[in-house]
Structure 1
Amino acid sequence: MQLSTCKVYFCLFIYLSFNIFLTGIYFLILDFNLFLELNIVSFNSVAVIMTIFLDWMSLVFMSFVLFIAAMVIFYSEEYMKSDKMVKRFILLVVLFVLSMMLLIISPNLISILLGWDGLGLVSYALVIYYQNVKSFNAGMLTALSNRIGDAALLVAIAWMMNYGSWNFIFYLDLFMDDFCMMIVLLFVILASLTKSAQIPFSSWLPAAMAAPTPVSSLVHSSTLVTAGVYLLIRFSEAFSYWMMNLLLFISLFTMFMAGLGANFEFDLKKIIALSTLSQLGLMVSILALGSSDLAFFHLLLHAFFKALLFMCAGAIIHSLGNCQDIRFMGGLFSVMPITCMLFNVCNLALCGLPFLSGFYSKDLVVEVMSMGYVNLFVYFIFYFSVGLTACYSFRLTYYSLTGNFNYLSMHSISEGMDSMMKGMMGLIFLVIFMGSLLMWVLFPEPYFICLPLSMKLLALGFIMLGIWVGYEVSKIKLNYELYSFKYKNISNFASSMWNMPTLSTSGVTFYPLILSSTLSKVQDQGWMEYYGGQNLYLRLKKYSKLFQLFSRNYFKVYLLFISVSVVSFVIYIT
């Protein structure tokens, strides 16, 4: 029996994921790193060398990316079955994953740029996949936001010409306080902020929801947005104190803004996208506090439940005839019990409820932050954002899964054990058990957390408080909608991500367009025309006509030249 393209890639990715994960654990136990240099071409004294760096971090991350990609491809077989070009879609997803692989294993800024640009290019192709006006606008915003990061990486590559090679991993310790390395690190931070959608580059992340849901599942869990965090983790040991502070405040504001915005949003996919943004802020903030290993730990665990959350959302949207508004949902437990169960488990893991996988990383991150020496502002925003996560997660559960059924009375909603369901079931066990398993493997010597009981229970207390607030706010949704004109400005400001999409698009382009129009009139069509091409053309045309007059052998011109020469000769003699 001939296997479909989806099943071939699914089997290949699962096989590779399992083997790479075991190799990564082996490297971790032995504390072993492998540095490979592949000589692609040599010409006289010039050698083009591809460098690959394999350690436990890159191998474990690669195995997670491949496993999630395998499940997403398996899920896509049914989700995209009505698409005539489903093979093209699968190949785009595979190309996306390969670009991420190249970025993960590269210790060299040139090869990182290849993977980085590959992610940007393929993400543009996937965001505009449905080819409508909304997709094109979202794709352009995504591509142009990421181009800022690409340009920053190019400038970092130019500054690294001061060193012997572009293998940054050799120079992080040695040139930590060097001026050139500080410049390189600043541009790397800028590139990472654009790719992981931190403030002020956050607007492209919800806009990228125009892509098909399987792509959103892959992008928001382990590929595009995590590339920026992964690059920061690789460079983190060279960051100075003020760089860490800069990262901390940017990530805290991102975390707070995304959590607040998700509580006012009604689009199912955008709520989950804003939750990704909130978790990315959490990762970058704990990295900025000096715990890059914890940021990586949360990055790995977040990938699983976020991928499954998007897959469940895709199944719900698919069943509801492409309706994404959570106000039209409700009571889905009775018609889609298994999908709702998986959705609920992922939501609770995202909140950090004991003892799901999200709890092990999130609780540890919050406790390590409490152990550190931070000011009250950082402490408050951190805990408040943790509470907001629980708030929007429970609000989403309340609107979509419980209560009365708000969709059309004539509907055909059902779920079967098809490839979509099997793809989701492949992730649920990892969402539940992978937190404890990874903690035992990555941290054989546990963190020593010494906090009073009140501070130990503070994270759990904020989670419970957030769930309660989310429930209470959702319960009075009718009254809130009835009297929403009172809170219209607040809700508009919060749900529009502090007006960031407007500032990123028309806010950025309005004045440059006016300036370019003025310059076009004054220079290109004004003085530049007079002193430039057009006037030069007219003068040359005039002189060429004059010279053509002399070259046409007219008798009068001939007599004119003779008379002029005779007169000149006479004047010269006298």
Structure 2
Amino acid sequence: MSCRSKICFISFFFLALFSFFCLLLGLYFCNSGLCCFVDWHICTLMTVDVVMTFLFDYMSLLFMSFVLFISSMVIFYTHDYMMGDIYIVRFVLLVLLFVLSMMLLIISPNMISILLGWDGLGLVSYLLVIYYQNFKSYSAGMLTVLSNRLGDVAFLVSIAWMLNYGSWNYVFYVDLLLVSLESQFISFLMIFAAMTKSAQIPFSSWLPAAMAAPTPVSALVHSSTLVTAGVYLMIRFNSLISVTGFSFYLLFIGGITMFMSGLGANFEFDLKKIIALSTLSQLGLMMSILSMGYYNLAFFHLLTHALFKALLFMCAGVIIHNMGDCQDIRYMGSLLDYMPLTSVCFCVSNLALCGMPFLAGFYSKDMILEISCFSVLNFISFLFYFISTGLTVCYTSRLISFTMFGSICMSSSSSSNDDSWHMLRGMFFMVLASVFGGSILSWLIFPIPYMICLPIYLKMLTLLVSLLGGLLGYFFSFYSYKDSLLSSFFVLPSFFSGSMWFMPYISTRGVSFSFLSSGGNLISSFDHGWCELFGGQGSYYYFKLFSSVIQSLQLNLVKAYLLAFIVFFLFFMII
């Protein structure tokens, strides 16, 4: 066994072992209702104790278990996917640093230690996005890191504001913050930081751009780590959101993010970007239900979504790997005949995403939709929930129709098969988790089941919207703008919806043409212009001129003295 294989298998073994250990502890803590704080005394500096505090409850332990389990499967999957990469050891180490940063964020009740994990996620995600050294990766990495830095600034300001309470252990001050005037400001900063990290509108453009990273990284980032960090932070600050007046705005932002991403995925042909937009839709769903005060439901959907979304990206990676790095779904077709095992895993993950009964996504999504019917919602938010659900089934059925059952569009020399056993074994465990994980989690997190009594038309509304969305997506798979008489009418709406409502252009070209170009003009006219004229370069020019005049006077030339006399005489005559 080579050194690279040993590192992959050792990382896989220890991550899986720690995941099982955290799962057992999480089950024990969930059953007994325990919450444990661990203080680690690092050192004493000038009578000041430097202490690191860790928070262990059922929420942090279960989330850690899921992150470690998905990370172990991703590293096991990486052994075959990144086999041709000579820097696979560096890649595995970056993934382990990424997981370590997420662990630090999950178990920290202290704002400073959360910032270490928060910034660690931002830094390592930038390194992973630019892993393939090309212009597209550099642009995507810069957009990702700059978008996340906006939230980091809000996080730093909230840390400075929390200093007024004498400590950064926010869990001890949440109840105190509820009755203070500062809670409004701190809540706004936390929501802003979570919006940038979880890519809510208007910070959504970096999430599809981050698809420039390798597919194993996408499977990890979009399921349980980077994009879910903002949702997890909001779950910890849930009491602040429900009391302050920002819950309505968070509900609206989450709803419009759901709708925008679901609509955009129906006009996209890049396989990884379709799955990225579905992640964005589910993040909007989590944020919206969290804003209504149901943080347990948001956490439940966070865990179930992590299972089937990681599987979905792993299946997409196998398909792209066998298609010669082609990501356009129009070139795929009849993969069910060539890759039956991968196709079954792909369909299971897609059905779980749609909320197929008795799969992982059904238990969380159906409960969220019924709770939204039961809660006090305005009509716009109600439409956002159910139209976004229909759009999810729509782009999923369109994706399955293009890839699994379409016509054969690959080259005749293509060798698509299911021979990558390391990838298939990793996907097999994820399939089991996607099938049984939702029911098991529902029994653990909700030991007393919800009793939601609704009229028959509201009970059947979810099923009706899903069936209509699936039928519409099936018809969309046969739709071509070139063959349509209404092609001139559909070009602009499809371009608007497919480009995420022009947010990538605003985030890149808009910023560069407005702020950066005005900054360039300011530098050329002020820093390189007036400041240079009256600053260093101007002083240098005038001192050089005066020194040359003085030096010419020191040569004892009669002409120089006469010239100076004439100049001074004319000067005094003018005065």
How high is the TM-score relative to the length of structure 1? 0.93
Deviations 1:337-383 (A, max 9, x none): 01001100111100001011100000000111111011111111110
1:110 corresponding residue in structure 2:
112
Residue type of the alignment partner of 1:214: P
Q: Aligned partner of 1:394: which letter? A: S
1:103 Cα deviation after fit: 0.5
The equivalent residue for 2:568 is none
Name the aligned partner's letter for residue 372 of structure 2: M
1:159-184 Cα deviation digits (max 9, x unpaired): 11111111111111112132323212
- Tell me how far 1:533 sits from its aligned partner: 1.8
Answer yes or no: is 1:298 the counterpart of 2:313: no
Q: Which amino acid aligns with 1:499?
A: F
Q: In structure 2, do the counterparts of structure 1 residues 354 and 177 end up closer, same or farther at CA, with 3 Å as the change threshold?
A: same
Tell me whether 386-395 or 517-526 shows the greater mean CA deviation: 517-526
Match runs of 1:534-573 below 5 Å: 534-541=537-544
CA contact (8 A) 2:198 2:231 kept: yes
For these two proteins, the number of residue pairs brought into alignment is 556
Tell me which moved more, 522-531 or 338-347.
Answer: 522-531
In structure 2, give the amino acid aligned to 1:30.
S
Distance 2:55 2:320 in 1: 41
Contact 2:220 / 2:310 at 8 angstroms: preserved in 1? Answer: yes
Instruction: Tell me the equivalent position of 2:221.
Output: 219
Cα gap change, 1:476 to 1:521, in 2 (>3 Å): closer
Partner of 1:405: 408
2:27 corresponds, among 21, 25, 28, to: 25
Contact 1:17 1:64 in 2 (8 A): yes
2:441 alignment partner in structure 1: 438
Q: CA deviation at 1:23?
A: 0.2
The equivalent of 1:64 in structure 2 is 66
Match of 1:386 in 2: 389
Asked if residue 208 in structure 1 is aligned to residue 210 in structure 2, the reply is yes
Contact 1:395 1:470 in 2 (8 A): yes
SS of structure 1 residue aligned to 2:39: strand
Q: Compute the displacement of 1:236 (Å).
A: 1.0
Greater alpha carbon shift after TM alignment, 182-191 vs 539-548: 539-548
Residue 259 of structure 2 aligns to which amino acid in structure 1?
Answer: F
Partner residue in 1 for 2:154: 152
2:125, 2:87 → 1: CA distance? 17
How far is the alpha carbon of 1:549 from its aligned partner? 8.6
Residue in 2 aligned with 1:288?
291
2:245 maps to 242
Give 2:367's match in structure 1, choosing from 358, 364, 369: 364
Q: Which runs of 5+ in 1 are unaligned?
A: 561-574
Q: Select the residue among 318, 329, 343 that pairs with 1:326.
A: 329
Cα distance in 2 for partners of 1:482, 1:48 equals: 71
Q: Deviations over 1:456-478 (max 9, x none)?
A: 11112111111111112223447
1:162 equivalent in alignment to 2:154 = no
Aligned position for 1:278: 281
Q: CA RMSD in A?
A: 1.9
SS at match of 1:162: helix
Tell me, which stretches of 5 or more residues in structure 2 are unaligned?
A: 562-575
- Which position in structure 1 is the counterpart of 2:316? 313
- 1:454 CA displacement: 1.5
Q: Distance in 1 between matches of 2:381 and 2:483?
A: 31
Aligned-residue offset at 1:529: 2.0
**Equivalent residues of 2:198, 2:227 under 8 A apart:** yes
Cα contact 1:172–1:237 (8 A) shared by 2:
yes
Q: 1:416 aligned to 416, 419, 424, which one?
A: 419
> What SS does the corresponding residue of 1:4 show, helix, strand or coil?
helix
Amino acid at match of 1:296: F
1:343 to 343, 346, 350: 346
* Range 319-328 or range 534-543, more displaced: 534-543
Q: 1:446 offset after TM fit, Å? A: 1.0
- Cα offsets for 1:206-239 (capped at 9, x unmatched): 0000111000000000000000100011111112
Q: Relative to 1, partners in 2 of residues 1:241 and 1:127: Cα closer, same or farther, differing over 3 Å?
A: same
Moved more, 69-78 or 3-12: 3-12
Offset of residue 445 of structure 1: 0.8
Q: Cα distance 1:165–1:241, how it changes in 2: closer, same or farther (>3 A)?
A: closer
1:162, 1:180 within 8 Å by CA — same for their partners in 2? no
Whether contact under 8 Å (2:183, 2:244) holds in the other structure is: no
Alpha-carbon distance in structure 2 between the residues aligned to 1:118 and 1:43: 25
Aligned equivalents of 1:482, 1:208: Cα separation in 2 = 36
Q: 2:263 aligns with which of 260, 267, 283?
A: 260
CA contact (8 A) 1:160 1:180 kept: no
* Distance change (3 Å), C-alpha of 1:163 and 1:549: farther
State the TM-score, normalizing by the size of structure 2.
0.93
- Alignment partner, residue 491 of structure 2: 488
**Counterpart of 2:156 in structure 1: which amino acid?**
L
Superposition deviation, residue 543 in structure 1:
5.9
% identical equivalent positions: 54
What do the CA deviations read for 1:305-329 (whole angstroms, capped 9, x no partner)?
A: 0000000010011001011111111
Q: Output the amino acid matched with 1:303.
A: A
Q: What is the CA distance between 1:241 and its match in structure 2? A: 4.4
3-state DSSP of counterpart to 1:50 = strand
Q: Deviations over 1:222-268 (max 9, x none)?
A: 00000010001111111234210010001101000000000010000
| Native 8 Å contact 1:160 1:181 kept in 2 | no
Residues 432 and 365 of structure 1, relative CA distance in 2, 3 Å threshold: same
